[in-house]
Amino acid sequence: MGSLRVSNITLGGWGQQGGIQIGDIIVSCRGQEIQSQAELNEALIAAAPGSRFVVRRYGHLIECTVGRGDPGFTTTPVDVLESSDSRESWSTIPVTTTPSIDGYRVEKILDVVSSECVFGINLFKDVLSGVRDLVGGRSSVSQEALRAARKMCIDVL
């Protein structure tokens, strides 16, 4: 028996607007349990906008809302054991960028962890940002976009 984990999400798609996040485990749509991509596709085709969509996030069941058209997210199959949302247990592990932590012994170095996020502001705001560069000063529009991108990257990690 398997599950589906949300692996990518399109900003502004109904998946994001309906409350779905990267890392969520798909549980059900309209009360129908989802265990495969085929079951998810069938359920989404049959679902009317506003239908309930249930995901598991950090061990909790979360209700999301189905929208109209392309869901704007992709999924990856995972084993049930892997999908049991072990992220809660990861929250107790000390994470560092230094070679040592006082009082702890490093048993295993996993890898460099990173996240990337690409944001487009829009043509008008980009032009105004360029003018701000010419005359000097801070561009609050660019700063807000960078803050949103950083927050999304941290949330993904």
Angstrom distance (rounded) from CA 157 to CA 134: 36
Average pLDDT for residues 20-27, to the nearest whole number?
A: 89
Under 8 Å between Cβ of 72 and 7: no
* Three-state DSSP class for residue 103: coil
pTM across the whole model: 0.51
**What's the CATH code, domain 2-90?**
2.30.42.10
Q: What is the pLDDT of residues 94-110, one digit of tens each?
A: 667 677 777 777 777 76
- Helix H, strand E, coil C: the string for 41-100 is HHHHHHCCCCCEEEEEECCEEEEEECCCCCCCEEEEEEECCCCCCCHHHHCCCCCCCCCC
Find which of 23-32, 79-88, 119-128 is predicted with most confidence, using mean pLDDT: 23-32
Which residue ranges make up each domain of the chain?
A: 2-90, 106-157
Mean pLDDT for 20-49 is 87
CB 62, CB 56: distance < 8 Å: yes
Q: Looking at the predicted structure, is the pLDDT value of residue 124 above 80?
A: no
Task: Give the DSSP letter of residue 155.
Answer: H
Give residue 126's pLDDT: 66
Residue 84 has a pLDDT of 47
Find the range with the poorest average confidence among 10-24, 38-52, 94-108.
94-108
The 8-class DSSP code of residue 9 comes to E
Number of helices (H), then strands (E), in the chain: 5, 6
Q: For residue 59, what are the contacts with CB-CB under 8 A and spacing of at least 6?
A: 85, 88
Comparison of pLDDT for 109 and 147, the residue scoring more: 147
Provide the pLDDT for residue 83: 45
What mean pLDDT is predicted for residues 11-31? Answer: 86
